[in-house]
Amino acid sequence: MALKYTIDTFMQDPDDASKTLISFRVTNDADKVFIISKSITTGSKTDAQLCTSAQTSAQSEIDTWNSSTTNMGKTWNPDTNKIE
């Protein structure tokens, strides 16, 4: 299942000026949406490096969410005891 990562927020963290707050709007093939934010130490990183760090930091939570959407929108058939 392919995921699309759209940058929703990219700004100096209001709680820590040494960090960049990055939020991704993640959309899966079923058009389910998950928004997650990570605060990454800015240092001398480029914008692309900051996004890579934020994605890496968020990936396990994104994977858990994506797995949880597998049966969303499907129908439970009590006659056959199957998800259709």
DSSP 7-31: EEEEEE-TT-TTEEEEEEEEE-TT-
Q: What is the pLDDT of residues 8-34, one digit of tens each?
A: 999 999 999 999 999 999 999 889 999
Mean pLDDT of 45-74: 95
Residue 24, strand partner residues: 7, 36
Predicted TM-score (pTM) of this structure? 0.84
